[in-house]
Amino acid sequence: MSIDWTHFTPWASLSGGLFIGLAAAIFVLLNGKIAGISGIVAGLLHPTGTDWLERFCFFIGLLLAPMLYMLIAGSPKIDWQASPTVTGIAGLIVGFGTRLGSGCTSGHGVCGLSRLSPRSLVATLTFMAAGFATVFVIRHLLG
């Protein structure tokens, strides 16, 4: 088995992780709230408080940031690994898992682990194991 080194991007990955951590830290310091994407989006879909504008701006920032990056760095080649149907089904399954686990990778994996939350550790280990198993089954067992 050969390794595809075109997918090995340690500097881009490291800088992306640093920016995600910095954004989560700034969000909690300025707002006292966890930057959990699923919770922010759920609050947009079912508004109950007065923070709808804050949630909306955060969500718009998530959409605009990659577009801004593409304008600055040039449009990258996107190599889709699955069809739009499979991608949509995968998104629905992820959404179901997010509700089942009461949070997502940003809420549990970034913010929860940094707060040493045992619940977030269990959630992160669970969704990472599920992701590893899914990739193994899809790529190696189903081909």
Answer whether 0.75 is exceeded by the pTM.
no
What letters, b where the CB count within 10 A reaches 16 and e where it falls short, cover 79-111?
eeeeeeeeeeeeeeebeebbeebebbbbbbbbb
* Average pLDDT over every residue of 15-24: 89
Q: Give dist(CA 106, CA 60) in Å, integer.
A: 16
What pLDDT, on the 0 to 100 scale, is given for residue 52? 87
Contacts of 33 (CB under 8 A, 6+ apart): 27
What CA–CA distances, in Å, run from 59 to 2, 31, 62, 118, 143?
Answer: 39, 15, 5, 27, 36
pLDDT digit string (tens) for 105-134? 888 888 888 889 999 999 999 988 988 998
Task: Write down the mean pLDDT value for the chain.
Answer: 85
* Average pLDDT over every residue of 131-139: 88
Count of other CB atoms within 10 angstroms of residue 50: 7
Q: Give dist(CA 44, CA 53) in Å, integer.
A: 9
The DSSP secondary-structure symbol of 6 reads G
* Average pLDDT over every residue of 89-111: 85
Q: Which segment, 36-40, 117-121, 134-138, is predicted with the most confidence on average? A: 117-121
Q: Tokens 């977030």 sit at which residue?
A: 120
Instruction: Place 3 in a pLDDT band, splitting at 50, 70 and 90.
Output: low
What pLDDT, on the 0 to 100 scale, is given for residue 78? 67
Given a cut of 80, is residue 55 above it in pLDDT? Answer: yes
What pLDDT, on the 0 to 100 scale, is given for residue 1? 55
Q: Name which residue leads in pLDDT, 134 or 143.
A: 134
